[in-house]
Structure 1
Amino acid sequence: MHSQAHDVSAPSLLETLRTGTGLLHVALEQRLPFFSERLDAQWYRRLLQAYYGFYQPMEAALYDSGLIPDGYEPVLRVKTPTLVHDLHALGLTDHAIHALPRCTQLPVLNTPAACLGALYVLEGATLGGQVLRREMALRLDVNADNGGAFLNVYGAETGRRWKDFLDYLSRQPLDTDAAARAVMAARSTFSGFEQWLDSQEVLL
């Protein structure tokens, strides 16, 4: 029977992703300058420009791949437009935004599992937004109208959308090999993001 084919002792995809990326996640968080006393408005703007330089090609690669399993709603979760909104609020023109450098060393997104791993990183990054939003409001007087919308991209929906994403992940029938590909892509997303931000000289 089909019910006998599933190993109930196997870790869930979420557990596998958390375990496989935990150290990389912590390493990146420790280098982000949001809580640094040296962070000023100029550094913050350069930071958002660097975020755009990663998110824009990353989201384009994901959504153009045609490999994201059914059930994910890009129109509700795409973050690049919010970054563009913030960059406009910070004084950049469309021409200046278009001219910003963009990351070319992206994770290999050639399977549905790899797409899931990358999405896990991008969706998980929204969870700290409430804390960052408050910190930037206090430190730099940044809010959703003047350059801080990305920090709280889902607003009051953050918790629910994360839960919905976890439910979506739990419905994906990935075998052990596919789960390993998801972890590899998630790790590549974390490390690629850190390397990109480092190359743009916006990390601690």
Structure 2
Amino acid sequence: MSEDQPLSAVSPVLHELRAGTHTRHVALEKRLPFFSNTLDLERYTRLLSAYYGFYHELEERLQHSPWMTHDFDLQARLKTPALRRDLQALGVSIQSLALCETLPALHSPACVLGVLYVLEGATLGGNVLRKQMSQRLGLEGHNGCAFLYVYGEATGRQWKAFLEFLGSVPLDAQARDQAVQAASSTFSCFEHWLERQEVLL
């Protein structure tokens, strides 16, 4: 997004998404063990395994959704391949992992946008987490930490590009509400899944 481009096209839905998911977002962040003293390589591996079970199924659903717009390059933004590489580097058998069955509903283009907002937003803190895992567990992109820095130095550019895409989709009040509900449901489903996998604080 150019510096002189007004945010008016993006701000209504972005503001509502941020406001509508803030409580769930903060609550989940507090329960993630990345900065916990109890986090060791075994627990990190279990955590990534749980992430895989959620991301794999949700990204599969997005890829096959009739509401997935062709204007968005989903293939270039899939996180499952990075998770798969990490888990293979950590010696995990992908075929043995549990997969999440309870996922946010995708029954409109607005719902897809809400889910994408959560998935894309989750990459923003990845660099901080990557540095933490490097210092504490000796992990880098090649041996178990590709997912946390999936866009590398392009993270900021990818987020701005997503915001441009988000702002380009015309959404009325009802559609914006659907997007917020889908985003909130994504956080909720993810937290419940991680809780069932016993990887949260």
* TM-score interval, smaller chain: over 0.9
Note the alpha carbon deviations across 1:133-156, whole angstroms, 9 max, x for none.
000000100110100000000000
Q: Using structure 1 for the length normalisation, give the TM-score.
A: 0.92
Aligned pairs for 1:21-60 (under 5 A) are: 21-60=21-60
Q: Which amino acid aligns with 1:144?
A: G
Aligned pairs for 1:143-162 (under 5 A) are: 143-162=140-159
Note the alpha carbon deviations across 1:98-148, whole angstroms, 9 max, x for none.
221111000110110000000000000000001000000001001101000
CA distance in 2, matches of 1:84, 1:15: 33
Q: Which amino acid aligns with 1:40?
A: D
What residue is the counterpart of 1:12 in the other structure? 12
CA distance in 1, matches of 2:78, 2:11: 29
SS in 2 for 1:12: helix
Deviation at 1:81, TM superposition (A): 0.6
Q: Does 1:127 align with 2:124?
A: yes
Note the alpha carbon deviations across 1:79-110, whole angstroms, 9 max, x for none.
10110000000012xxx212211110001101
What residue is the counterpart of 1:82 in the other structure? 82
Q: Does 1:200 align with 2:194?
A: no
Equivalent residue pairs, number: 193
How large is the RMSD of aligned CA atoms in angstroms? 1.2
SS in 1 for 2:22: helix
Taking only the aligned residue pairs, the percentage that are identical comes to 54
Q: Which amino acid aligns with 2:191?
A: E
What residue is the counterpart of 1:71 in the other structure? 71
Q: Which amino acid aligns with 1:76?
A: A
CA distance in 2, matches of 1:67, 1:179: 15
Deviation at 1:75, TM superposition (A): 1.8
Q: Does 1:106 align with 2:91?
A: no
Deviates more, 1:65-74 or 1:140-149: 65-74
CA distance in 2, matches of 1:179, 1:59: 22
Deviation at 1:70, TM superposition (A): 3.4
CA distance in 2, matches of 1:15, 1:172: 15
SS in 1 for 2:191: helix
What residue is the counterpart of 2:171 in the other structure? 174
Deviation at 1:11, TM superposition (A): 5.8
Note the alpha carbon deviations across 1:1-49, whole angstroms, 9 max, x for none.
xxxxxxx8x9611111001001110000000000001100000000000
Say which one has the larger Rg: 1
CA distance in 1, matches of 2:156, 2:88: 27
Deviation at 1:66, TM superposition (A): 2.4
Runs of 4+ in 1 over 4 A off after TM superposition: none
